[in-house]
């Protein structure tokens, strides 16, 4: 074992394991059709209908290429509509269809149940700490890449 490190102390390796574990739990408890990133996009459009792709991507932390794929899949399933912005011909304005809204509502319930199961091994205080610590590390790391961009809206 000369030279090997203990990966269970490496946050990156743990982050990957955590994400995979969540992926599997989502599949078994929430949906086999809609993925967690797809739900995040739908959720952003429930909060703010009519956003363009780029902005949705910023809201849910998906880059321009990935958001395009996710949106194309949601569109193919009839959960979302794309319309050219008449004011700005580069943009597509996105909004959920009736079906999309219904699906989002249904998954919201299941997601809450899944979150409980996922966090069940922790006490209530630990759950809050867990959420807060991850958020701080993720925020900081994301901030390293977008040095200029303020996190709160800038008018």
Partner DNA sequence: CAGAAATAATCAGTGCCCTGACTAATCATG
Partner DNA sequence: CATGATTAGTCAGGGCACTGATTATTTCTG
Which residues of the chain form contacts with its own copies (CB under 8 A)? 1-5, 7-22, 24-26, 36-37, 40, 43-44, 46-48, 60-61, 101, 104-105, 108, 111-112, 114-115, 117-122, 126, 129-131, 133-142, 144-145
Contacts with DNA, 67-106, as mask; x by CB under 7 A: -xxxxxx--------------xxxxx--------------
* Contact partner at residue 134 from its own copies, DNA, none, CB < 5 to 8 Å by partner kind: its own copies
DSSP 95: E
* Contact partner at residue 52 from its own copies, DNA, none, CB < 5 to 8 Å by partner kind: DNA
Residue 63 CB, nearest approach to its own copies (Å): 9
99 contacts 10 by C-beta, under 8 angstroms: no
**Residue 31 parent element (H or E):** none
Helix residue ranges, H only, the chain: 11-29, 36-47, 53-60, 64-76, 98-119, 124-145
45 contacts 95 by C-beta, under 8 angstroms: yes
Q: The tokens 């569109």 sit on which residue?
A: 75
| Cβ neighbours around 42 below 10 Å, total | 25
Q: Contact positions toward DNA, by CB under 7 A?
A: 16, 19-20, 23-24, 27, 35, 37-38, 52-54, 61-66, 68-73, 88-92
């Amino acid at each position: 074992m000369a030279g090997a490190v203990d990966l269970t102390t490496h946050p990156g390796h743990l982050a990957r394991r955590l994400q995979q574990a969540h992926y599997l739990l989502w599949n078994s408890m929430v949906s086999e059709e809609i993925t967690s990133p797809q739900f995040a996009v739908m959720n952003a459009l429930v909060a703010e209908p009519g956003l363009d792709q780029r902005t949705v991507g910023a809201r849910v932390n998906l880059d321009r290429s990935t958001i395009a794929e996710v949106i194309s899949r949601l569109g193919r399933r009839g959960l979302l509509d794309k319309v050219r912005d008449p004011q700005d011909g580069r943009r597509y304005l996105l909004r959920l269809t009736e079906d999309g809204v219904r699906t989002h509502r249904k998954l919201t319930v299941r997601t809450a149940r899944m979150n409980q199961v996922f966090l069940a091994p922790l006490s209530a205080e630990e759950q809050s700490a867990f959420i807060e610590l991850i958020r701080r590390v993720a925020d900081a790391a994301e901030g390293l890449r977008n040095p200029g961009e303020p996190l709160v809206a800038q008018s």
